[in-house]
Structure 1
Amino acid sequence: MVGRGTILGVLGVLMAACGTPQRQDSGSESVEGRVIRPAGLAFPYVKRPACPGEGCAYGTWLACDTVSVYAREADTTERAFYLAREEPFQVLAGAVHVTRPEVVVVTRPTHQIGFQESGVLFQQGDTLFVLDYIAEGFFDAWYRDSIIETEIFWPWEHWYPAKDYEYGGDVVQQGVASFWIQVRNGSGQEGWVPADRASLASANSLDPDPPRCPARAE
């Protein structure tokens, strides 16, 4: 389960440095240097609309530090304005930008139910290109020339299975992604903020209380 405290951190595993690829399905991906990407999907891949994490919602958020707001989505070259600490603002839209997919090689036959689908039977040796986190342990992934939804069955830092759980896949390449939100302040100024950071308190549809910033350390 992923709540308000980790909504902005669920992409952390996708921000890690790239690992060394160990296995590939011939013909299913292209290798550029040390980066594996599927041949049939353009990168950066953008999931829109998006709000990753259980209960993640647009609406009123809170800045918990001085936050730079940029003029364009996924572009930090032009700063438009700042949000001050404890300043509320509106989130109008969101998108996840994936520049490098997480690559999972299936290690045993594994049947997984999709978030809104009947499921997929993965075979040992299959390659899964994990794109973006949805909620409740489900991800979008590229598999056999299409995007599917699948429940996690590989190691992930935000998931703690039972001690006797046998993982069904190995991560051979860490992914890189960022979650961007379109914001509007109280003066009507609009811009974009990279939201995978600890300086924001997000709205949560599962929590009736307004977002709160953590207390500053003394």
Structure 2
Amino acid sequence: MRHKITAGLLALFALSPVLAARSPLETVNQFYTLRLQNGAYDTPTGLDLAAFSSYLAPELVCMLGAAIRYSDQYAKALPEQARPFANVDLYASGPTLPARFSTGSSLTNGSSNKTQVTFSLDNVADGPSTEWTDTILVSLRRKRWLISDIEYGNGPADASQGSLMTRLRDVLTHPHEAAQWDVRELGACVIEAAPVKQASKARQRVKKATASSRAKPAKRARSAAPSGKRKR
């Protein structure tokens, strides 16, 4: 029942037309503003993901949803162990939720964008704050700019490495045996292909090319009419 409610919320937010015309930079700014206001660093919940899903690409929403389900199964099987992704912030490479952020360069190339975001943590004992920069990958999907991955930068010593999608994939494709996790669930988490109309046209072109390349069977040649009477 819980998964059905979560799936319904995700579908509702994914179809929401809110801020459909926002730029890549606006997408990143609004996402992290919401994260710092309402988000908690730790294993994500269905409600957390529903709140953020309108800023995320479908394949990332799918992977995060799979991470939630795996985390639930892991906790049931190993209640004494810390959940996967516990005590970390998946959306930045620091060890905890950042205190603040600021956006830097934002470069767009066709339907892809890279926006740099600098995060900072407040250190104790009046020490200087710790800063690091991550790169946010934003993709244009059906006229909407959505975050498709987060490349972790040079954060603190205990910061995450790689990227968000890589981290999710590494954990979910190497599950703990006790969790009885079915890796095949990730088969649905694929990057959106070309728009349906373009894909349909491409298939039609392939069919036409295939049909035209087939050799038509040659008609039987008619026997030539006799040129004259046979000689006796």
- Tell me the TM-score range normalised by the shorter chain: under 0.3
TM-score (norm 2): 0.23
Relative contact order higher in (CA < 8 Å, ≥ 6 apart):
1
Q: Looking at CA atoms only, which structure, 1 or 2, has the larger radius of gyration?
A: 2
Taking structure 1 as the reference length, the TM-score comes to 0.24
- Name whichever structure is richer in helix by fraction: 2
